[in-house]
Chains A and B, each alone.
Chain A
Amino acid sequence: MEKSLKEKCMKLLYASSAFLGIAVVVVITIFLLSMGLPSMFEIGFFKFLFGTKWNPVNNEFGILPMIVNTIIVTAFSGLIGVTIGRFTAIFICYFVRPKLKKILMQLVQLLAGIPSVLFGFFGVQVLVPLFSALSSSGVGYGVMTSSIILGIMILPTVISISVTSLENADPLHIEGALALGASREQSIFKVAVPSAKTGLMSAAILGIGRAVGETMAIVMVSGNIPDFATSFFQGIRTLTGNIVLEMSYAEGLHEGALVATGVVLFVMILCVTVGLNVYKTKSGKIKKGKSIVIDKCVGTGNPQYVLSRSKEKAMKGFSLGCTSMTMISLVGIVLFILVMGVPHLSFDFVFGSFEYGGAITLLPSIVTTLMLIGLTVLMSVPIGVMTAIFLCEYTKNDSKFVKIVRMSIETLAGIPSIIFGLFGMMFFCELIGMGYSIMAGALTLTLMNLPTIIRTTEQAILEVPQSLREASYALGVGKTTTIFRIVLPSAMGGILNGVILSIGRIVSESAVVLFTVGSTKSMPTSPMSSGISLAVYMYILAGEGLHVNEAYGAAVVLLAIVFIINLASNFTKKFAQRKNIKI
């Protein structure tokens, strides 16, 4: 009987970690609302949302320009990112050999790991001067640069999800169409792509969600003038930019107004996520049956399904063009940073010891970053893994609690980092009184990384064959032992990969770290000391204008870390696959 008590305790433990996911979403929401809404009403609901002037000195807090700018930039970057991304995905899926496909997908994955501050930096250093020379206004900041940079940034999201959905689309469709005499291009563009419509649409929506929430890159290239965009080449400010730029010194109503800006952003993102879910459930219902009809029509010469020769060529050419653009922008950014940064690297620059007023050294920021990684992993992995165990091993999928847990995790995954930053700053730093500290940063990053860990772990656990669990139970071994001795070891590769992915996110993250850890450049002495992460340091070096060379150097170090993480991730993936095939 002692045994069953232990099992009950373990279940309670797992359930409470799962509950934590819900609690976090609820607390973040309530906290944001309770801090933001009062100010919103003090300012006046309409005056805040539809006011056209943002001038905190005169107590004018109208965010309409920021809302409009956010929508404009999101629309244009979405147009760029989704179009290029989708056609790149089509090209990668259907027009290249499997080996090349693998390489291209690895490049895409690499692109996904590049920190947003690097994109911003590239924008400032290359696109801004370029456009200021080209445009009539002589300004390089603004909608154009922001949209391009954001468009490139959402490419990996769009491409990887699109590729998955194209792969999952029934290959029989293409074969069926081919068998009916359709050409290859025709089968692809008129049969295969339409049949993957839902997945492609989800890819687009997720990409757009990312664009709405992106902060640091946009702050660097938008110009930050709180006014309506009237041309492509004119400084603008977005909702996220508004929060980052002023939060550090805002007080009273001003601070409240910024939190309220966060609330508006939160609501916008929520709309995107909810829209996505509604779309998914709706199209899931009508999907079956339709594509078979399409198959039949392709061969019959029905004009709706026929592509003229020239159009076929144009579509294929366009896909090739998009793929080249994706790859050129990736390789271009990486090479540019390497070429500009490597000459400025030196041992003293990277590992020199820190002295006040001395030469710039990255060592404190590297140590801070490592501490952030260590603490975050230490906290997020146990909670995330236990939640995943709860979801996979202890619940029936249709229970209400599980549904709410899943919904919370999904919501959590959609919240942009700036909101986490805002929350972390007000909750951990101010309310709990941790102040700017590595611990506060790690706690916030833990919340942010939970969905990644939970999802990858869940995936890995689901891949463990049921027969192994049965074998263990049939020996009379209890659930807890079975999970720890059989299930988790088999799922280790997948879990490790999730951990590595979230380490990548921690390294790249700058908004959260800036808000919760601060920007103290000295060596951290304890988890409670303030510090500066590598990404934030790079951001600050790039922004100060005095240390552009050092910024390049820091960017190279950042890139190197991202490369290493990428390699490690590939390695663990292979490791996980090998293990699963054997079983």
Chain B
Amino acid sequence: MYKLFNKNENTKNREISKNNKVDKGDICLDLFKDGADIKIENLNLFYNKFQALHNVNMQINDKEITSLIGPSGCGKSTLLKSINRMNDLVNGCRIEGTIEIAGRDVYSKDLDIGVLRKNVGMVFQKPNPFAMSIYDNITYAPRTFGVKDKTQLDEIVRTSLEKAAMWDEVKDCLGKSAMSLSGGQQQRLCIARCLSAQPKIILMDEPTSALDPISTGKIEDLCLQLKDRFSIVMVTHNMQQALRISDKTSFFLMGEMIEMGNTREVFENPKDNRTEDYITGRFG
């Protein structure tokens, strides 16, 4: 499948890109050309004998921000990780049901897991940049996908950092170690690194919980900007954050999806008592 990026493909890209700046550093390998709706049906997930998710059904729309809320241990991260199959790395994890993105079964045998993850990016709770330069952090994924051309890589670095709203901050020190950045900058670099793979969907697992309010604000703004081009699924413990930025909110409790709807509605007019209890702070 990686053959998709042979040389012809790359040169074609460059020809097109002369006219169009944004496309200049395109990697291709798109799985989900038209839309990236996620449809989850009857999802049950087990860690060995423990069932972490119970019959979850939900629809996540393209170019929207969906937040997942719920008390600690209710399975938010687990759900997120089953969308890009990071759960495959966990010993004893077993999945029933289906997850489809744009109509393609995520767990089907002929879907290459690498290509899937390239299309479904992930940002973690704690910033985890590689111990390399800023530049190398961002070119890491494209390079492994076969992009060798220096100008193309430069272009990817620039557009990724621009999209992550930190190009101006770091454009003069791309060779600096990513470790020397502040926590908030590191997290935005991780977002830029995620964007460098040119995903369609971005999964974020409490991306701001380790950050100060200013950095948090920056990342929230960033999410709102990115929404035009990506679907974002975000786990958050911060109700205000969910309210501020998300279009849809879904509430989880003990591995079950209790309620999902437009964010305003869920917060102002929850259908389920448990949702109301949680939002008004009566538990969790």
Q: Is B89 an interface residue (CB 8 A)?
A: yes
CB–CB A465/B128 < 8 A: yes
Residues of B in contact with A, size category: 20 to 34
Q: Which of A477, A490, A582 contacts B114 (CB 8 A)?
A: A477
Q: Which residues on the A side are within 8 Å of B1 (C-beta)?
A: 1, 3
Q: Is B76 an interface residue (CB 8 A)?
A: no
CB–CB A476/B128 < 8 A: no
- Tell me how far the C-beta of A11 lies from the nearest C-beta in chain B, rounded to whole angstroms: 15
Q: Which residues on the B side are within 8 Å of A4 (C-beta)?
A: 112
CB–CB B128/A582 < 8 A: no
- A470 and B179 in contact, given A2-B3, A475-B197 (Cβ under 8 angstroms): no
CB–CB A471/B124 < 8 A: yes
CB–CB B128/A475 < 8 A: no
Q: Is A473 an interface residue (CB 8 A)?
A: yes
Residue of B nearest to A397 (CB): B91
> Residues 468-501 of chain A: 1 if any B CB is under 8 Å from the residue's CB, otherwise 0?
1011111111100100011001100000000000
- A476 and B115 in contact, given A470-B124, A481-B144, A489-B131 (Cβ under 8 angstroms): yes
Q: Is B255 an interface residue (CB 8 A)?
A: no
Q: Is A467 an interface residue (CB 8 A)?
A: yes
- A490 and B131 in contact, given A467-B124, A470-B89 (Cβ under 8 angstroms): yes
CB–CB A474/B117 < 8 A: yes
B94-122 at interface with A (beta carbon < 8 Å)? 112-119, 121-122
Q: Which residues on the A side are within 8 Å of B132 (C-beta)?
A: 489
Residue of B nearest to A474 (CB): B122
Q: Is B278 an interface residue (CB 8 A)?
A: no
Q: Tell me how many residue pairs across A and B have CB atoms closer than 8 Å.
A: 77
A565-583 at interface with B (beta carbon < 8 Å)? 579, 582-583
Q: Which residues on the A side are within 8 Å of B194 (C-beta)?
A: 474-475
- A475 and B140 in contact, given A579-B131, A583-B179 (Cβ under 8 angstroms): yes
Q: Which residues on the B side are within 8 Å of A468 (C-beta)?
A: 128, 130-131
Instruction: Give complex CA distance A4, B110 in Å.
Output: 12
A127-153 at interface with B (beta carbon < 8 Å)? none
CB–CB B140/A485 < 8 A: yes
Instruction: Give complex CA distance A476, B199 in Å.
Output: 10
- Tell me how far the C-beta of A376 lies from the nearest C-beta in chain B, rounded to whole angstroms: 30
CB–CB A486/B130 < 8 A: yes
- Tell me how far the C-beta of A502 lies from the nearest C-beta in chain B, rounded to whole angstroms: 25
Q: Is B190 an interface residue (CB 8 A)?
A: yes
Q: Which residues on the B side are within 8 Å of A465 (C-beta)?
A: 128
Instruction: Give complex CA distance A463, B145 in Å.
Output: 27
Q: Which residues on the A side are within 8 Å of B131 (C-beta)?
A: 468, 489-490, 579, 582-583
- Tell me how far the C-beta of A451 lies from the nearest C-beta in chain B, rounded to whole angstroms: 27
Residue among A468, A473, A474 having the largest count of chain B Cβ atoms under 10 Å: A474
Q: Which residues on the B side are within 8 Å of A485 (C-beta)?
A: 140, 144
Instruction: Give complex CA distance A4, B130 in Å.
Output: 24
CB–CB B121/A475 < 8 A: yes
Q: Is B16 an interface residue (CB 8 A)?
A: no
> Residues 222-235 of chain A: 1 if any B CB is under 8 Å from the residue's CB, otherwise 0?
00000000000000
CB–CB B89/A475 < 8 A: no
- A3 and B179 in contact, given A471-B130, A474-B121, A475-B193 (Cβ under 8 angstroms): no
> Residues 142-155 of chain B: 1 if any A CB is under 8 Å from the residue's CB, otherwise 0?
00110000000000
Q: Is B2 an interface residue (CB 8 A)?
A: yes
- Tell me how far the C-beta of B51 lies from the nearest C-beta in chain A, rounded to whole angstroms: 22
CB–CB B128/A473 < 8 A: no
Q: Is A102 an interface residue (CB 8 A)?
A: no
> Residues 204-226 of chain B: 1 if any A CB is under 8 Å from the residue's CB, otherwise 0?
00000000000000000000000
Q: Is B126 an interface residue (CB 8 A)?
A: yes
> Residues 1-15 of chain B: 1 if any A CB is under 8 Å from the residue's CB, otherwise 0?
111000000000000
> Residues 180-210 of chain B: 1 if any A CB is under 8 Å from the residue's CB, otherwise 0?
0000000000100110110000000000000
- Tell me how far the C-beta of A272 lies from the nearest C-beta in chain B, rounded to whole angstroms: 35
Q: Is A396 an interface residue (CB 8 A)?
A: yes
Instruction: Give complex CA distance A582, B129 in Å.
Output: 11
Q: Is B84 an interface residue (CB 8 A)?
A: yes
Q: Which residues on the B side are within 8 Å of A474 (C-beta)?
A: 84, 86, 117, 121-122, 124, 194
Q: Is B141 an interface residue (CB 8 A)?
A: yes
- Tell me how far the C-beta of A45 lies from the nearest C-beta in chain B, rounded to whole angstroms: 49
A selection of 17 A-B contacts at a CB cut-off of 8 Å is A3-B112, A3-B114, A467-B126, A467-B128, A470-B89, A471-B129, A473-B86, A474-B84, A475-B118, A475-B196, A475-B197, A476-B118, A476-B145, A477-B114, A477-B144, A485-B140, A583-B179
Interface residues in chain A, defined as those with a beta carbon under 8 Å from any beta carbon in chain B: 1-4, 396, 465, 467-468, 470-478, 481, 485-486, 489-490, 579, 582-583
List 4 additional contacts besides A474-B121, A582-B179; criterion CB under 8 Å.
A2-B2, A471-B193, A475-B140, A486-B130
